[in-house]
Structure 1
Amino acid sequence: MDRTRFFVRTAAIYALIGAFLGSHMAGGGGLELSAIHAHILVVGWLSLFAFAIYYKVFNIPKNSKLSIVHVWSSFIGVLGLTVGMWLYYTQPIDGMRTFNTIFFIVGGTVLLIAFVVFAIMAFVHGKFISEDA
C-alpha cells in the first residue's frame, strides 16, 4: 500500500466534508456542529495530511509493523472519532445514547493510540528522520 497516497486521498475527503459542513453552518446561521466541523478538519484533514508528508519525506520502511499499525489506527481512529462525535452530539436515532457515547470514546481512544504509535515511530525509526540524504 502506498501510505502517502492513502493518507492524502483520505485527508482530501475529510477536507471536503469539513469545508462543506462549515459552509452549511455559515449558510444556515447555526454553529451547533462547530466542534464536529473543527475535528473533521484538524484530525481528518490536517493530521492525515501531515502523516502523508511524514511518509513521503522520510524513508520509513514499508514493512514496519509500527507503520502498519499507525496507518490503520489513524484511519479507523479518525473515522470513529468524527462519526462518533456526530452521533453523540446529534443523537439521530432515539435510544442509542449509550452506543453513541461508546462509539465516540472508542474512536477517540483508537486515534490516541495512533498518535502514541506515531511518537514511538519517531524514535524507533529515528535514523530515517534526517535532513541528510
Structure 2
Amino acid sequence: MDRTRFFVRVAAIYALIGAFMGSHMAGGGGLQLSAIHAHILVVGWLSLFAFGIYYKVFKIPKDSKLAKAHVWTSFFGVFGLTVGMWLYYTQPIDGLSAFNTVFFIVGGTILLVAFALFAIMTFLYGKFISEDA
C-alpha cells in the first residue's frame, strides 16, 4: 500500500466534507455543527495530510508493522471520532444515545492510539528523520 497516496486521498475527502459543512453552516446561519466541522478539518484533513507527507518525506520502512498499525488506527480513529461526534451531538435516531456515546468514545480512543503510535514511530525511526541527505 502506498501510505502517502492513501492518506492524501482520504484527507482530500475529509477536506471536501469539512468545506461543504462550513459552506452549509455559513449559508444557513447556524453554527450547531461547528465542533464537528472543525474536527473533520483538523483531524480528518490536516492530520491525515500531515501523516501522508511524513511518509513521503521520511523513508519509513515499507514493511514496518508499527507504520501499518499507525495507518489503520489513524483511518478508523478519524472516522470513528468524527462520525461518533456527529451521532452524539445530533442524535439522528431515537433510542441510540448509549451507542452514539460509545461510538464517539471508541473512535476518539482509537485516534489517540494512532497519535501515540506516531509519536513512538518518530523516535523508533528517528535515524530516517533528518535534514541531512
Asked if Structure 1 and Structure 2 have the same fold, meaning a TM-score greater than 0.5 normalized by the shorter chain, the answer is yes
CA distance in 2, matches of 1:19, 1:109: 25
Q: What's the secondary structure of 1:93's corresponding residue?
A: coil
The runs of at least 4 aligned residues of structure 1 exceeding 2 Å deviation read none
Where 1:117 maps in the other structure, the secondary structure is helix
Show structure 1 runs of 5+ residues with no match.
none
- Normalised by the size of structure 1, how large is the TM-score? 1.00
Q: How many corresponding residue pairs?
A: 133
Alignment correspondent of 1:82: 82
Segments of structure 2 that go 5 or more residues without pairing to the other structure are none
Percent of residue pairs bearing the same amino acid type: 83
Residue 132 of structure 1 deviates from its aligned partner by: 1.2
Query: Which residue of 1 is the match for residue 18 of structure 2?
Result: 18
Please give the TM-score of this superposition, normalised by the length of structure 2. Answer: 1.00
Indicate the residue corresponding to 2:59 in structure 1: 59
Distance 1:81 1:126 in 2: 29
Cα offset for 1:48?
A: 0.2
Partners in 1 of 2:119 and 2:68 — Cα distance? 14
1:53-102 residue CA offsets vs partner (Å, 9 max, x unmatched): 10000000010111000000000000000000000000000000000000
Q: Distance between the aligned counterparts of 1:8 and 1:117, measured in 2? A: 19
Q: Does 1:43 align with 2:39?
A: no
Residue 131 of structure 1 aligns to a residue in which SS? coil
What is the CA–CA distance in structure 2 between the aligned matches of 1:65 and 1:129, rounded to whole Å?
A: 18
Residue identity in the other structure for 1:48: L
SS at match of 1:32: coil
Residue of structure 1 equivalent to 2:6: 6
Distance 2:68 2:123 in 1: 16
Letter in 2 for 1:87: L
Separation (CA, whole Å) in 2 of partners of 1:63 and 1:105: 30
